[in-house]
């Protein structure tokens, strides 16, 4: 089973991808993680991407598409299926993915749009603090550290990431609405989209995702 998870920052995509990976063995292909891996491994694509990032510019879609294509083709992704996270992020990437499916003889079974109103996302994101040393993430109201501003794991001080400052949060949500919502419409037009209410408990969201994927799979096999 191959899935695309779409959702704004703070919607809980990471949590759901983790559950899907742990319980049914889907391989998460997260564009952010893959970027970092390619850059660290200093591959040609990684070096190219880094040049744009170092100049404060967006990595062109062509580079992103090539990086993702490489992972989608991998044996690891093909074994039990995969979850795409952070890709396709814009309409040209969605079109490229449709072409890839034909070339690679791979099928996306379902596209899941995880949805939460913006006000709730803002409150979820704005309480977030992170440990710069071990990467642990806490939330001042939902998941507070045992001691204020100190990491439970490694006793390092906690910080609000620059991405989670109020202005940055508004900007991230705006970018999501502008560039990624057309992708949602694209898949809706193709009859592949299921909207899932991500205000629910993570466990219930997980079950909704599985149900949506199963429904699409049985429809496709008829």
CB 35 → Zn ion: shortest distance, Å?
23
Does the footprint of Zn ion cover residue 137 (CB under 5 A)? no
97 to 64, 90, 219: CA distances (angstroms)? 11, 11, 21
Peptide bond before 88: cis, by omega within 30 degrees of 0?
A: yes
Q: Which stretch binds Zn ion (CB under 5 A): 38-46, 60-68, 77-85, 151-159?
A: 151-159
Does the footprint of Zn ion cover residue 132 (CB under 5 A)? no
Distance CA 88, CA 107 (A): 15
Among 53, 107, 134, 137, binds Zn ion (CB under 5 A): 134
Closest CA to 63 of 40, 78, 43, 81: 43
Q: Does the active-site annotation cover 161?
A: yes
CB 44 → Zn ion: shortest distance, Å?
34
Q: Does the active-site annotation cover 13?
A: yes
H/E element holding 52? Answer: helix 44-54
Per annotation, catalytic residue among 27, 89, 124, 216: 89
Does the footprint of Zn ion cover residue 153 (CB under 5 A)? yes
Q: Which stretch binds Zn ion (CB under 5 A): 1-9, 100-108, 115-123, 134-142?
A: 134-142
Nearer to Zn ion, 158 or 169 (CB): 158
Nearer to Zn ion, 53 or 134 (CB): 134
Sequence-distant contacts of 171-178: CB under 8 A, at least 24 apart: 172/8, 172/9, 173/8, 173/9, 173/118, 173/121, 173/122, 176/8, 176/9, 177/8
User: 128: alpha, beta or left, given left = phi > 0 and alpha = psi -120 to 50?
Assistant: beta
Among 17, 131, 193, 213, binds Zn ion (CB under 5 A): 131
3-state secondary structure of 63: helix
CB 145 → Zn ion: shortest distance, Å?
9
Residue 82 has phi, psi (to 5 degrees) of -140, 165
> Are the C-beta atoms of 165 and 177 separated by less than 8 Å?
no
CB 161 → Zn ion: shortest distance, Å?
13
Distance CA 88, CA 69 (A): 11
Among 24, 58, 107, 154, binds Zn ion (CB under 5 A): 154
Active site residues: 13, 89, 128, 161, 172
Binding site residues, Zn ion, CB under 5 A: 131, 133-134, 136, 151, 153-154, 156
């Amino acid at each position: 089973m191959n899935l695309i998870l779409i959702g704004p920052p703070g919607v809980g995509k990471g949590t759901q991808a983790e559950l899907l990976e742990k319980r049914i063995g889907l391989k998460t292909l997260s564009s952010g993680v893959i970027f970092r891996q390619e850059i660290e491994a200093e591959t040609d694509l990684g070096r190219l991407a880094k040049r744009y990032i170092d100049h404060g510019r967006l990595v062109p879609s062509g580079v992103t598409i090539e990086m993702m294509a490489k992972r989608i083709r991998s044996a690891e992704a093909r074994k039990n299926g995969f979850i795409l996270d952070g890709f396709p992020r814009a309409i040209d990437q969605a079109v490229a993915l449709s072409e890839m499916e034909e070339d690679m003889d791979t099928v996306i079974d379902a596209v899941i749009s995880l949805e939460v109103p913006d006000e709730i996302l803002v409150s979820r994101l704005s309480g977030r603090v992170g440990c710069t040393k071990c990467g642990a993430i806490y939330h001042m109201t939902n998941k507070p550290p045992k001691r204020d501003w100190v990491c439970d794991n490694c006793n390092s001080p906690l910080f609000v990431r620059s991405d989670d400052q109020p202005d940055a949060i508004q900007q991230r949500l705006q970018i999501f609405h502008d560039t990624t919502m057309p992708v949602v419409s694209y898949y809706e037009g193709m009859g592949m989209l299921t909207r899932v209410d991500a205000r629910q408990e993570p466990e219930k969201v997980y079950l909704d995702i599985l149900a949506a994927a199963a429904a699409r799979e049985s429809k496709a096999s008829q």
